[in-house]
Amino acid sequence: MGGGMGWEQYRTFLAVLNEGSLSGAARALGITQPTVGRHISALEASFQQVLFTRSQTGLLPTEAALALRGYAEAMQSNAAALERAASRRQGEGLTGTVRVSASEVIGVEVLPGAIARLRQDHPGLKVELVPTNKVQDLLQREADIAVRMTAPRQEALVARKAGDVEIGLFARSDYLEMHGTPALPDELAGHALVGFDTQTPFLRAATQAFPLWRRDAFSVRTDSDLGQLALIRAGAGIGVCQVALARRDAALKRVLAEHFSFRLPAWITMHQDLRDSPRCRATFDALVACLQAHTATA
C-alpha cells in the first residue's frame, strides 16, 4: 500500500495537515483545490484508510494521518536536502534564484538597495524577497537565506551577526508641536500611542521593561510593523521605530530616549549545505554588509 504514491501526494498531505483545509493547502502549494482533493483521495485509496474528516472548522486529521505525519516530514526534509545538493551543482556562475526572507520592515525599508546593487553586479541572479514576520524554515527550504532578529538555534545553519538594531519611540514633529513632547514616561498617558493589536514577544518584553507600553494604552493598533511605521510617519501618534530608519526622516523626532531603548540582534542565516553555492554565498555576504551598514548608523 502506498507504493505507487509520489512525493507530490505526500507534500499535499503535509500541506492539508498544516493548513487545515483543501483550499488553504492549494494556496500554500500554488496548485488547484481539485488537485489537492485528488492527491488526498489517492492516498486514502492506496492506504485504505480515511486521513481527514470534515468539521465546522475545517479538515481534522484522523489517527492514521497523525501516525503518518513524521514519515512525511522526513520525506520533506530529504527532498529539501536533495534540492540543496542539486543547487550546489548548478555551475559556478552567479545565476539562478535565491529566496531571501526578512521581517516586514527590514525587507521593505532596508534590503531593497542591497538587492538592487547585487543584481547590478550579477544580472543572471534572481532574488525572491519575502518580507514576513513569520519565521521561515530554512531546513525545509522555505527560504535560502533569512534575516532574523534572534540568534538561530539549529546546528545545521550558518549564521553571522551583523550588529544590533536599536529601537526607540518616535513621533512626527508636527504631532509633538500640537500635543507636546513627553518628558517623563507617565506623560505618555496623554498621548496617542501606536502599537500592536495582539501580544507579540517584542510587546511582552517591552511591557515588562516599560509597563506603560501595553495594548490597552494604544490609541491605534495594528499587527503590521509596516502599518505602525506608516502611522507614525503620518503623524498619528507616538510609536516604535528603528533608530536608523528614523534618522532618514527629518520629520521624525525621538522621545524618551533615556527611558525607552531596545536592541535587537540582526542575524543573517542560511543552511550549511548552501555554503558552496556561489549565488547563495554572494547574496549572504551582500546582506551581511547591508545590515552592518544599517546597524552602524544607529
pLDDT tier at 137 (50, 70, 90 boundaries)? low
Q: What is the pLDDT of residue 71?
A: 84
Please state the separation of Cα 91 from the chain's center in Å: 29
Q: What is the pLDDT of residue 18?
A: 87
DSSP for 123-134, please give it. TTEEEEEEE-SS
Mean pLDDT: which of 38-42, 71-75, 88-92 is highest? 38-42
Residues 5-21 pLDDT 10s = 677 888 889 889 888 88
The single-letter code of the amino acid at 157 is: L
151 vs 147, 206, 256, 271, 281, CA distance in Å? 10, 19, 28, 14, 19
Distance between CA atoms of residues 227 and 190, nearest Å: 22
Mean pLDDT for 39-52 is 89
Domains and CATH numbers, the chain: 7-88 (1.10.10.10), 96-163+266-296 (3.40.190.10), 165-263 (3.40.190.10)
pLDDT tier at 296 (50, 70, 90 boundaries)? confident
- Name the maximum alpha-carbon separation found in the chain: 73
Beta strands, E only, 88-180:
96-102, 125-131, 145-148, 157-172
Q: What is the pLDDT of residue 10?
A: 85
Buried b (16+ CB within 10 A) or exposed e, 93-104: ebeeebbbbbbb
Mean pLDDT for 227-256 is 95
The C-alpha cell at 189 is 498617558
Mean pLDDT for 194-199 is 90
Q: Which residue has the cell 503518518?
A: 68
pLDDT tier at 118 (50, 70, 90 boundaries)? very high
Mean pLDDT for 51-80 is 83
Contact indicator for 30, 51 with CB cutoff of 8 Å: no
Mean pLDDT for 145-163 is 84
pLDDT tier at 204 (50, 70, 90 boundaries)? confident
Distance between CA atoms of residues 107 and 135, nearest Å: 13
Residue 235 φ/ψ region, left for φ over 0, alpha for ψ in the -120 to 50 degree band, beta for the rest: left
Contact indicator for 278, 98 with CB cutoff of 8 Å: no
Contact indicator for 47, 58 with CB cutoff of 8 Å: no
Mean pLDDT for 33-55 is 88
Q: What is the pLDDT of residue 212?
A: 85
The single-letter code of the amino acid at 60 is: L
Q: What is the pLDDT of residue 83?
A: 67
Mean pLDDT for 156-175 is 92
pLDDT tier at 138 (50, 70, 90 boundaries)? low
Question: What is the residue-averaged pLDDT of the chain?
Answer: 86
Distance between CA atoms of residues 106 and 18, nearest Å: 27
| pLDDT reading at 136 higher than 60 | no
Buried b (16+ CB within 10 A) or exposed e, 153-169: eeeebbbeebbebbbbb
The C-alpha cell at 132 is 514576513
